Amino acid sequence: MPGDRSGGGGSALLADIGGTNARFALAGADGAPGAVSVLSCDDFPGLAEAAESFLQASAPASRPSQAAVAVASPVTGDEIRLTNRRWSFSIEALRTRLGLARLEVVNDFTAVAHAIPRLGPADRIQVGGGEPAEGTPVAVIGPGTGLGVSGLVPDSGGNWTALATEGGHVTLPATDAREMAVIDYLRGRYEHVSAERVLSGPGLVNLYEALARIEARDAETLTPPEITARALLGDDPLCVGAVELFCAFLGTVAGDLALSLGARGGVWIAGGIVPRLGDAFVASPFRVRFEAKGRFEGYMKAIPSWVVTHRYPAFPGLAALLAPD
């Protein structure tokens, strides 16, 4: 049954399922994730077929008896529907089909949150702030195909509880007239302008198109990587503006999250977009906007923020889910 902890030894299947890619790895008896295989979700009708393809290609010595799966969607019961991909599945049916004794399914950023205490200095870059306050909550946020949000809450024994949230869908705030104009443009397209509508890959395209409309300029049909690449080259003002707005909005939303959680233990930024920005993110409006909380500016200045540079941070978190208590 889901959550049954009698899975036993042998290899374990780990999977991180997003709106674009399905990532798989096997964990051995020591619990450490092996090499990650990245499959395109477009190539499969569903998660079960993608998992079977990975297992067939990897040919483990023995069929995994347990698995931990992270999904970019809420996990509120047996039926799972991905938010940004037309995949759905029953947890129990998937467990049966893959022949598993134990299957854990969690939100993808809950898995990333589980990984945070297991990341080392080589897995992060600090962007502003001071030292983390011991024994206080930690915030986790990450733009990718969607916007993942989670957090870690400590107990008196030094253990952490990872939060399962859908914080990427909070209402997007504006701090000036330009941002309000962007949001007004997006309101004409979406019923609800959430943070994810700008803080994601599709969100970068939304920002680019919104700026083109506001500035009465011609917009090209660009992908998120193309917008980012042009912005980093600095030769396309619309792309530069879109990425700057992206970083500013991220600073506002991440700062709101830190205030809401009391995350004096720090804010971790994961996902597929920010790590690719490199030094441009450090020099961006992110940190100024993160700290711009009026009377609480001093409180915010002390909170450290890190960019997660580990390529697949969900996997150490998934392995931790299967570790013996």
- Asked if 84 and 231 sit in the same domain, the reply is no
Contacts of 235 (CB under 8 A, 6+ apart): none
CA distance 104 to 133: 31
- Tokens standing for 42? 């477009």
* Chain-centroid distance, C-alpha 284: 20
CA distance 243 to 205: 10
- What are the backbone dihedrals phi and psi of residue 90, each rounded to the nearest 5 degrees, phi first? -95, 130
- Asked if 204 and 84 sit in the same domain, the reply is no
Specify the CATH number for the domain of residue 169.
Answer: 3.40.367.20
**Is there a domain that residue 102 lies in?**
yes
- Tokens standing for 324? 């013996």
CA distance 181 to 221: 21
Sheet holding 124-126, edge to edge: 124-126, 305-308, 267-269, 138-143, 147-154, 160-162
Q: Is there a contact between 201 and 144 (Cβ–Cβ < 8 Å)? A: yes
Within the chain, which residues score under 50 in pLDDT?
A: 1-9
Check residue 205 and give its pLDDT. 98
CA distance 254 to 250: 6
**Is there a domain that residue 7 lies in?**
no
Specify the CATH number for the domain of residue 61.
Answer: 3.30.420.40
**Is there a domain that residue 294 lies in?**
yes
Check residue 8 and give its pLDDT. 45
- Asked if 109 and 140 sit in the same domain, the reply is no
Check residue 59 and give its pLDDT. 83
Strands (E), 87-210: 88-90, 102-107, 124-126, 138-143, 147-154, 160-162
CB atoms within 10 A of CB 180: 12
Full domain range(s) for residue 179: 121-309
Give tens-digit pLDDT for 234-290.
Answer: 999 999 999 999 999 999 999 999 999 999 999 999 999 999 999 999 999 999 999
Q: Is there a contact between 26 and 318 (Cβ–Cβ < 8 Å)? A: no
Q: Count of domains in the chain?
A: 2
**Is there a domain that residue 82 lies in?**
yes
- Asked if 278 and 179 sit in the same domain, the reply is yes
**Is there a domain that residue 157 lies in?**
yes
Give tens-digit pLDDT for 202-250.
Answer: 999 999 999 999 999 999 999 999 999 999 999 999 999 999 999 999 9
For the chain, the distance separating the N- and C-terminal CA atoms, rounded to the nearest angstrom, is 18
**Is there a domain that residue 99 lies in?**
yes
- Asked if 209 and 232 sit in the same domain, the reply is yes
Longest dimension (CA), the chain: 62
- Asked if 37 and 109 sit in the same domain, the reply is yes
**Is there a domain that residue 287 lies in?**
yes
- Asked if 132 and 233 sit in the same domain, the reply is yes
Count CA atoms closer than 13 A to 291's CA, side-chain side: 15
- Asked if 104 and 155 sit in the same domain, the reply is no
Q: Tell whether the torsion through CA atoms of 206, 211, 212 and 216 is positive or negative.
A: positive
**Is there a domain that residue 51 lies in?**
yes
- Asked if 243 and 128 sit in the same domain, the reply is yes
- Asked if 104 and 188 sit in the same domain, the reply is no
